[in-house]
Every structure is written in C-alpha cells, then in structure tokens.
Chains A and B, each alone.
Chain A
Amino acid sequence: MRPDSVRANTLHHVYGWLLLMPAAILLIAFTHYPTVATLINSLFSKGNIVRPSRFIGLGNYEAMLDDPIFWKAFGNNIWFAAGTIPTSMILAIAMALLVNRALPGRGFLRMAYFTPTILPMIAVANIWLFFYTPEIGLIDQILETVGLQGKNWLGDPDTVLGALIVMTIWKEAGFFMIFYLAALQNISPELNDAARLEGASRWTYFRRVLFPLLMPTTLFVAINALLNSFKLVDHLFILTKGGPDNASNLLLYYIFESAFSFLDATYAATLTMVLLALLAILAIGQFVILDKRIHYR
C-alpha cells in the first residue's frame, strides 16, 4: 500500500469514530457503566459507619430468595402483566379497527382514545384516585345510586391490584391503538375488496388476513407492553405506595423502597440486576418465538 493511502485509511477510521462518539459516550455513560456498576454493587454487603461494605459474592441474591416481599412483588408483577397486556392489546386492535373505518367524527374519536396516553401518569393517578375514593368517589357514588354497597377499592388487598390493572389498561390501550392504526393504514383496502368478493366474512378477513399482517406490530406492542408492565411505578406513589400489606407492590417500586426508604443500596442493586435479567430474557424469548410466525414484507 502506498503511504498516502494508508493515511487516508486512518483518517477514514478517525472520522468514523468521531461520528460515533457522541452516541457512544451517552450509551456508555448512562447505560453500560451503570449496569456494570450495579452488578458490582450487588456483590457487596450493605455498609454503615461501623461496618464498611465488603464483598459477599452472591449473598444478596441468597437473601433475596428468602425475602417474602420480593416474592410478593414478583408475583404481583406477573399478575399485573397478565392482567394488563392481553386486554389492552385486544382493546387497542378493536379501537384501531373501529376508527380506521370511514365514520363521522373519527378524527375526534381517535383523539379521544389517545388522550389518556398524553396525560402524565401522575395526573392519571389523580383522576383515578377520585374514581376509587371510598364513598365520595365516582364508582361508589354510581354503585350507591343503583343500591349497591361501595367499598375501599384501593384499601382492600383483594381489589387493589385489580384497580391498578383497570387504570393501566385505560392508559395503555390508546397508546397501542396508534401503532395498530398506523399499521392498518398501510394495508391496501383492495385486500378487503378481494376478500369480500370471495364471500369472506369480516371475521374471516380479520383472522386470515388482517391479523397475520398485523403480527409485526403485535410483536412490537407486546414487547413494549411487557416492558411497561415492569417499568410502571409512578402511579403507586400517588395511589397506594405498594400497600396495603404489599398487595400492590411491584418490583420497580420495591427497588425504590429498598434504595431510598430502607437505604439498602446494595440490595436495591441486586433487585435491579434481577429485573434487568428478567426483562432481557422475556424480550429475547418474544423475538424468538414470534419471529418464526411473523410475515415481514
């Protein structure tokens, strides 16, 4: 190679790295470094003035397995995910199909369905707090007019998680609808014409054509919904603080509690690692399973 071509090559490399640098710095500083730091942290004991923090290997992880609150929060999270994801996705598809048709005022309808999504979670929680408040809340007042006994929805361990699930569905469905709506608008109406001409019912058309074509969107939405169900925490601050008796405690909120209420940073780091691993496994699993059955154009 001639010397000047070597130089040009080196310049090329430098140029490439310079272009990558801003993104790389952000990614390393705010994602990779914290992840590694958290992992290291989770291997140390909780320190105090008398006893400084020391390396204990997997000690924190062993403690976690014996921690009933962790298992409670973990179980709650699974119920929360199972309760919110399928329902909000089905609702999202149904709403998208509805507003994708030519009907009067559909612009308004689309907007109305989307409104819960643009509200901050804190505002949503306050609205629902008003719904759920015992006796003076909207739900209890309605129940009263039809002669039914109201109850303390957020104060009862049997109903609190359900109440949170309903609220989350209300918030998420509109958001997912937007993705489905965008996907539906990319599907040629001629496909519907062709199916109608063959005598396919609406249901057949949905099952045999629309739904398979929406699969990439479904995968995308499912992953987002899953991540959301483990990431959602803001509403707990307003509505329940994880109570009563940890009946509505979720993993992320428990991490927050460990770190800032119980001031146990290393245990919080342990929980964080578990949550991270869980999310990674779920996301990869979804890709692998669904990818096989998805038609990409």
Chain B
Amino acid sequence: MSTVEITGLVKQWGDTRAVDGVSFVAAAGSLTALLGPSGCGKSTILRMVSGLEPPTEGHVRIGGRDVTRTEPAGRGVSMVFQSYALFPHLSVEENIVFGLKVRRISATDRARRLAKVADMVGLSDLLDRKPSALSGGQRQRVALARAVIAENDVCLMDEPLSNLDAKLRTEMRTSIRDLQRRLDMTMIYVTHDQTEAMTMADQIVLLNDGKVEQAGTPEQLYDAPSSVFTAAFIGMPPMNLLTLERFSDGVRVRGDREGPALAFSADSGWRLGVRPEHVALAPGSPVIGTVAAKDYLGADTLVTLEVGQERLTARIAGRPAAAIGERVGVQWPEDAEYLFDAHGRAVSRGSRTDGQTPVRTASA
C-alpha cells in the first residue's frame, strides 16, 4: 500500500505557471479527487505524478520513496487516460496484456491475470474485439482493465468518465469506486464534475488556476467553504452568493431597500452565501423576492427569485404554487448563512477579521 505525497509541485511553460506550488497527501488506499475548472492544471499534476511530465519544482513521493526523477515505468503507477489511449490495432485482450508482455511476464501468468481482470470488469465475452467495435463504456472498461492488471498500488485517472453519457457515468462511478476499495488502491482521480468528486472521493483537492483552493473531505468542502470559489464550485445547484450593500442603518442585499437589515456587520461588496436547499418560501417573511423562473426537476423545483438587485435560487420540495412575477416572502435560517469579504475569503459573521473559520456558527 502506497501513500502518494506531493510537495510544492510547480510546472512552468514559458511564462505560464500551469501548476503553482501544489501540495497534498493521498492516503494509502484512499480515493483523492483533483477537482477544478478546465485549464486549472489537473492533468498536468497527474502527469507529473505518473512521471510522463517532469516537474519544474517540487517532489513526488510514492510509498515514502522520492520518485521525482524516476521513469514512469519505475513508479508503480497505472493510469487511465481521458481518451482511453487504447491501441486501435490490437484486440481487447492484447490491449489489456500489453504491459505484461512488455515486462516479459510468462504466458500462463498472463492468461491467469487476464481471466481474472476481464471477469472483474465484465469483458470476458469481448476479448477478441477491436476497440473500434466497442461502445464507449466498453472501451472505458478496457482502459480500466489495462490499469488494473498491472497490480500497481497507485492508479491515476484523468477524467475517465467524461466521454460517457449520464446514465453510464453513474454506473461507472460506482464500479470504479468498488474496484478501488476491493483492490485497496490509492487512487488519484481527476474530474471537473463536482458530483463525481462528491460522490466518490475520500478527499477532494479543489484547484483554481494552478493552486490548491481548498482540500478536505467532501463534507468539509460543502459545509465550510473557505472561499467564494469553493462555495460556488461545490453543490448542485451552487451556493447563492448575494452581494451586500451597507446602508446607514445596517447591511442589506444589494438594492433591497425595503427589507430588514441583516443581523451582522459587513461592508459593501461583501457577499452573503446561502445554499438553495436552505432557502424557503415563507409567507409573512419580511424579506420579499419576485419569482423570476421555475425549473421543475421532479422531486423538487428550483425557484429563481429576485431580491433587490440580486438573484437567489431556492430548492423547494414538490411543486410550489407561486407564479412567475409573484412577490413572495423568503427566508433562510441564520445558521445557514456564509459571509465572504471583498476578496472572496470566508469571514466569521459578526467579526471583521479575515480568517478561514467557517461561518456556520450555530451548527458547529
């Protein structure tokens, strides 16, 4: 079992720093998701861990051994590529055992391992096919089998599900997670899909522009975002972020002159965060919003409301009666409020000091 430890990793191409001082530890046998928007450096980090790309600075340790200058094949890592990187002229079987052949593993050993792995990923009937005669999901499984058959402790995946349709993606999420647990692999999983990261990961490393924005368990990132970026990235739909305005008698949502002042002090330009699932429609509430849109999702409905000059999404169970254009009372519990300063960093309510402390005081 191998822990993967990354310290101060930097990748520079000319003037651009694609990866800018990234550090994190992926505990042995855990699944770490590298999450972030397109172009934030996820693939580059993964390639530096695998050894396909040499880092400009920083170190990679696998199982306590510094492998920063070790060849890819000497690191004991497998990788699943975004486009699968299957060899188009080789059959499924030849694709899967390619690495074993290269390493001169005996034919009987190869056959034994192939049978086991093919069974595990459900490819036993397709071994003679060429990749071009497979569906996307089947190709994905070949790539997975090729990574698994090497029996390495560490498995790296670069957006392995991004080419699949939504239903298949949900299925494969579960089977990848199962496989990772069963084989006790240390997995680093790149994705830009927060749902994937939230459902699968033991640890999420959220990246923004080559830097770690926040790292922690899915619960930590959801409950205690340290910045506007995390707050907006985690959660589906994302957290409402309402710009605040300071009036002579207190702080309100921007443009909301009539509503009551909020129960904390803040400056203009600061933002108030509230998750859609905590917003309720409450007749009689002093905060008034105008219904701008309703998106019916089945179990619940997303109601978009205009409060002052800001927009606010509420996730309401069932089918709310409020019609578009109607003015309704809106409320949310005080302990569901998050406060972010003008730089987008989380601030404790009631204090003005910058800090990483979560604002959700009541539930803490």
Contacts and interface: CB of A to CB of B under 8 A. Distances in A.
A198 B146 CA distance: 10
Contact of A198 (B47, B88, B103): B103
Contacts of A198: 73, 98-99, 102-103, 150
A297 interface: yes
A193 interface: yes
Nearest to A201: B102
Interface string B95-131: 0001100110000000000000000000000000010
Contacts of B150: 198
A54 interface: no
B179 interface: no
B50 A197 contact: yes
A101 to B, nearest CB: 15
B52 A200 contact: no
Nearest to A200: B102
Contacts of B348: none
B102 A191 contact: no
Interface residues of A, number: 18
Contacts of A204: 102
B89 interface: yes
B62 to A, nearest CB: 14
A213 B99 contact: no
**Residue among B73, B132, B146 having the largest count of chain A Cβ atoms under 10 Å:** B73
A257 to B, nearest CB: 47
Given A199-B102, A199-B103, A297-B132, A212 B89 contact: yes
B134 interface: no
B102 A194 contact: no
B85 to A, nearest CB: 4
Contacts of B87: 191, 194, 208-209
A48 interface: no
B73 A199 contact: yes
Interface in A84-106: none
Interface string A157-182: 00000000000000000000000000
Contacts of A295: 88-89, 130
Interface in B54-88: 71-74, 77-79, 81-83, 85, 87-88
Contacts of A213: 88-89
B77 A297 contact: no
B88 A197 contact: no
A197 B149 CA distance: 13
Contacts of B132: 297
A34 B214 CA distance: 78
A191 B150 CA distance: 17
B88 A297 contact: yes
A12 interface: no
Given A204-B102, A208-B98, A297-B132, A196 B85 contact: no
A197 B77 contact: yes
A196 B81 contact: no
Contacts of B89: 209, 212-213, 295
A4 interface: no
A2 to B, nearest CB: 45
Nearest to A209: B87
B88 A194 contact: no
A98 B103 CA distance: 26
A195 B89 CA distance: 14
B102 A197 contact: no
Contacts of A197: 50-52, 72-73, 77-79, 99
Given A199-B102, A199-B103, A295-B88, A190 B73 contact: no
A195 to B, nearest CB: 8
A190 B85 contact: yes
A295 B133 CA distance: 13
Contacts of B74: 199
Interface in B278-330: none
A193 B81 contact: yes
Contact of B85 (A191, A208, A212, A297): A191
A193 B85 contact: yes
**Residue among A194, A199, A204 having the largest count of chain B Cβ atoms under 10 Å:** A194
B53 to A, nearest CB: 9
Contacts of B72: 196-197, 199
B102 A196 contact: no
A188 interface: yes
A239 B225 CA distance: 81
A294 to B, nearest CB: 9
A205 to B, nearest CB: 9
A188 B83 contact: yes
B83 A190 contact: yes
Given A199-B73, A295-B89, A194 B103 contact: no
A198 B104 CA distance: 11
B357 to A, nearest CB: 43
A213 B87 CA distance: 9
24 contacts: A188-B83, A190-B81, A190-B85, A193-B81, A193-B85, A194-B87, A195-B98, A197-B51, A197-B52, A197-B77, A197-B79, A198-B73, A198-B103, A198-B150, A199-B73, A199-B99, A199-B103, A200-B99, A200-B102, A204-B102, A209-B89, A212-B89, A213-B89, A295-B88
